Structure 1
Amino acid sequence: MTGSLTLGVLGGMGPAATLDFLQKLQAYTPAEQDQDHIRVLVDINPKVPDRNAPGSLAGPLLAEMAGALRGAGAEVLAIACNTAHAYAGMIQRASGLPLVDMIETAARAAARGGAMRAGVLGTRGAVKLYREYLAAQAMGLVTLPSERQEAFMQALYRIKAGDTGPEVRREMAGLAKELVAQGAEVVIAGCTEVPLVMGADDLRVEFVEPSELLAKRCVAVCLGMEAVPALPV
């Protein structure tokens, strides 16, 4: 397959989630031979400052990474981290490249089935982003109470440390069910680590997996089946 765009991926936040995204990207590419796959340039950089820390300096480094990906030949970008989308504008301005926005993609998917309230399993930064994007889809947001949000963060860092065992799986599924009990009609995996420990079978409502949707959309954009997103004005 010739004429496809080269995708640049800002990753490493965390590494396991980035590898999961890349696996999905490969799986959703319609290919009969090696040459049918899209070219992907990936910066797996676990040295990006914690996006959840107050006053994080992640933005400038992500912008630098994006510029380097452009220099290497990337023509469109993806970020394999929900919270890092807070710096989407900076990343696009610095690189001059369009971004396939994971938050936007997931919010649209959540609204597609007619749900009016979405629960988000994500960091506070990711939840803030989803609040804005879901509002644009005329949807309300369901969040965990403060103490349960802290429990989510503890589970998240356990996953980042490599723990994907039964206990953390039960904890994550339980948190998702709490969102449903509060009225969520759909649950969004608002951190790319969440799908590493749970899936659609864990819930009785729709489970939206942004990294999977991002992979599908990146393939569509790079293969010309969907228009390249516009750069911010």
Structure 2
Amino acid sequence: GMGPAATVDFLAKLQALTPTNREQDHIRTIVDINPQVPDFNDPLAKPGPVLAEMAGALQGAGAQVMAIACNTAHTYADLISRSSGLPLIDMITTASVAARDTGARRAGVLGSRTALKLYREYLAAQGMGLVTLEPDRQAVFMDLVQKIKGGDRSREVRAEMAALTADLAAGGAETIIAGCTEVPLVVEAGVTRLPFIDSSETLARRCVAVCLGLEPLPA
């Protein structure tokens, strides 16, 4: 993980979704929360080598399967898999399948421009279209993400993020995907009348299924 609050939120969901009768039933989790990964939104930054090093270190620490609690970082999914030698539970694939399973034909995604490119491809593989924000509203979204990363979860931030989900609905979205792990920190499913896909929650749910042997390891 990169964003501490978003990664801790993912870990809390992983713990909550694991069926247990005792402490020993929980999944051993090896985590590297690294806020110093170069900014994905900086065209001059080079986060790939840092992510590769993190992935290799997790494998060396005993990890058997990998998950990335960041949508945008999936741009480097192949590099991360090669560097660790581990199967990757792909967040964007998992969220896209969950969106398809709602019966929707078009998904509105709140995410960085890089994440939106990935979602366009992955949703198309599910036979779905992508709805995005207008450029000025996308800029508002990115400003909100930076505020959340800085610890601002105020009523104003929550209201503005809810307004962005309404923009996507007005643009024809039939389901909403939180395509940035900071979004669920200020938005809950009830904020929109549409099905709401929390990519962090769907990733945690699939991690539990894979680690408990209920689903096969990703190819």
TM-score, structure 2 length as denominator? 0.99
- Number of aligned residue pairs: give it: 219
- Aligned counterparts of 2:3 and 2:114: Cα–Cα separation in 1: 16
Deviation at 1:94, TM superposition (A): 1.0
In structure 2, the partner of 1:163 is 152
- Aligned counterparts of 1:126 and 1:209: Cα–Cα separation in 2: 14
Q: Deviation string for 1:29-70 (max 9, x for gaps)?
A: 111111111100000111101111113311111111000000
Q: Secondary structure of 2:107's partner?
A: strand
Unaligned runs of 5+ in 1: 1-10
- Aligned counterparts of 1:33 and 1:176: Cα–Cα separation in 2: 39
- Aligned counterparts of 2:217 and 2:211: Cα–Cα separation in 1: 8
Matched, 1:216 2:205: yes
In structure 2, the partner of 1:30 is 19
In structure 1, the partner of 2:191 is 202
- Aligned counterparts of 1:204 and 1:220: Cα–Cα separation in 2: 28
Give the share of equivalent positions with the same residue, in percent: 66
Q: Secondary structure of 2:88's partner?
A: coil
Alignment of 1:83-232 (within 5 A): 83-230=72-219
- Aligned counterparts of 1:213 and 1:143: Cα–Cα separation in 2: 21
- Aligned counterparts of 1:118 and 1:148: Cα–Cα separation in 2: 17
Unaligned runs of 5+ in 2: none
In structure 2, the partner of 1:6 is none
Matched to 2:51, the amino acid is L
Give the root-mean-square deviation of aligned CA atoms: 0.6
- Aligned counterparts of 2:197 and 2:143: Cα–Cα separation in 1: 22
Structure 1 residue ranges, 4+ long, deviating more than 6 angstroms after superposition: none
In structure 1, the partner of 2:60 is 71
- Aligned counterparts of 2:184 and 2:17: Cα–Cα separation in 1: 17
Q: Secondary structure of 1:46's partner?
A: coil
- Aligned counterparts of 2:202 and 2:102: Cα–Cα separation in 1: 15
- Aligned counterparts of 2:65 and 2:130: Cα–Cα separation in 1: 30
- Aligned counterparts of 1:56 and 1:175: Cα–Cα separation in 2: 28
Matched to 2:90, the amino acid is D
